[in-house]
Amino acid sequence: MKLSDFICCNLVIEQDCEFDAFMKLGDHFDGRAVTFVENEKYIGQALGNKNVVGVIICKALGSKIKKSHLGIAYSSSPKASFIRMNNMMTRNDSITRIGINCNISSTAKIHPKGVVIGDNVTIEDNVMIHAGTVIGSNSFVGRYSDVGSNCYERCLDENGNHVIATHNGGVLIGNDVIIEQGVVIDRALFIWDNTEIADQCYIGRDSGIAHGCKINEGAYIYPRAVLCGNVTVGRHSKIGIGAIVSNRIQVGEYADIKLGSIVTKNVDNNEAVSGNFAIPHSILIEAIKKLVKR
């Protein structure tokens, strides 16, 4: 692909380039990618990323990268043009395959293409399984859950109109995973990426797992917890009831995020945090004890 293939997305090409995929700054794509920049503070990040070969940028910032190695396309609304470009990508899915000894409700809706379901899987009433979803063997999906849906990703264009992103990635769910009722799991934004839930994880009822999250083996996401986009949860960590983890946060292994916490900073291995905004749990408890004594 070339930038010039997308001039229909309100682009003016300053310097063309060939690329393989789209990505946001902070993503980890091993190939030639095009991204967008709307703030000057991210220009250095774009220039320093070995996988970024092209940038969608407004003309006012174009002088900052004009003499660089990057392909350059000008847009009055770089993110809107970037979303429109990604929306032009299409999946090439094969016919859905379902393993043996599965117990699938007659009211569940499974997309006829792009779904793979392993053996001994239970899918309860009114579940939605979208294209690009893979579910491993011996897993369980509770009623009214929605797996592989589009996440919230939109912006306003130069005319004040909403531009909504089509999600082209997938969802990979491992073996022996329990997903309780009412869970929403969004597929990844880009065609090369997946939202991933590894073996033996537990996702509690009414939880939300946004696009591109990576939940590693044995992690517990308790009811009504929300993981915003591109969160990573380490092995055997616990995300408490009603906790919210902000986008792109890294949660280490065997970490413990207490119920109701709002997590805006990375959490280390074996660390327990709590509060709004979350801090080490022991510090919060000591502070509360001091307040009570007053």
Average pLDDT for consecutive 10-residue bins of the chain (294 residues)? 91 94 93 94 91 94 85 94 94 94 98 97 98 98 97 88 94 98 97 97 98 98 97 98 97 97 96 85 71 64
Residue 259 has a pLDDT of 95
Q: Is the peptide bond before 140 cis (omega within 30 degrees of 0)?
A: no
- Which H or E element spans position 46? helix 43-48
Q: How far apart are CA 17 and CA 15, in angstroms?
A: 7
Q: How far apart are CA 150 and CA 186, in angstroms?
A: 6
For 64, the 3-state DSSP assignment is: coil
Q: How far apart are CA 20 and CA 30, in angstroms?
A: 10
Q: How far apart are CA 208 and CA 124, in angstroms?
A: 18
Q: How far apart are CA 112 and CA 126, in angstroms?
A: 16
Question: What is the phi/psi pair of residue 61, to 5°?
Answer: -100, -5
- Which H or E element spans position 226? strand 226-227
Residue 146 has a pLDDT of 98
Residue 108 has a pLDDT of 98
Residue 122 has a pLDDT of 98
Sign of CA dihedral 82, 87, 88, 89: positive
- Which H or E element spans position 22? strand 21-22
Q: How far apart are CA 60 and CA 74, in angstroms?
A: 9
